[in-house]
């Protein structure tokens, strides 16, 4: 069993320790997942995974113009920003404001 020792700590010191701990944890989280560049080019597989689609569905959406693709030689690439822009918010009649 652990021993617990209680001691008086000034409130300012306690607030400082808490702030340092939170700042450290946030910096670890932010370093682990850097923000993505909207101009970054991704492959068909990466684009399909990002959108949650199969490769044939992604191809169909590309042909229909729902998702914008870019040709680089014989390869097809997608810009991350274009993938985000292709996502359309669905509005139902129940929640739409007129």
pLDDT in tens, 8-44: 889 999 999 999 999 988 887 777 656 678 889 999 9
Of 97 and 15, more confident: 15
pLDDT at 39: 86
Of 60 and 32, more confident: 60
Contact 77/48 with Cβ under 8 angstroms?
Answer: no
| Three state DSSP letters for the chain | CCCCCCCCCCHHHHHHHHHHHHHHHHHHHHHHCCCCCCCCEECHHHHHHHHCCCHHHHHHHHHHCCCCCEEECCEEEEEHHHHHHHCCCCCCCCCCCC
pLDDT at 93: 66
Domain definitions of the chain by residue range = 41-86
Mean per-residue pLDDT, 67-91:
87
pLDDT in tens, 35-59: 678 889 999 999 999 999 999 999 9
pLDDT at 1: 72
Cα–Cα distance measured from residue 77 to residue 45, given in angstroms and rounded to the nearest whole number: 10
């Amino acid at each position: 069993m652990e021993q617990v020792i209680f001691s008086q700590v000034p409130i300012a010191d306690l607030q400082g320790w808490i702030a340092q701990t939170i700042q450290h944890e946030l910096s670890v989280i932010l370093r682990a997942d850097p923000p993505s560049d909207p101009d970054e080019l991704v492959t068909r597989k990466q684009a399909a995974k990002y959108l949650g689609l199969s490769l044939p569905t992604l191809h169909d959406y590309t042909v229909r113009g729902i998702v914008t693709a870019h040709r680089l030689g014989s390869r097809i690439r997608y810009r991350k920003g274009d993938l985000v822009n292709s996502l359309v918010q669905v509005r139902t009649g129940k929640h739409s404001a007129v």
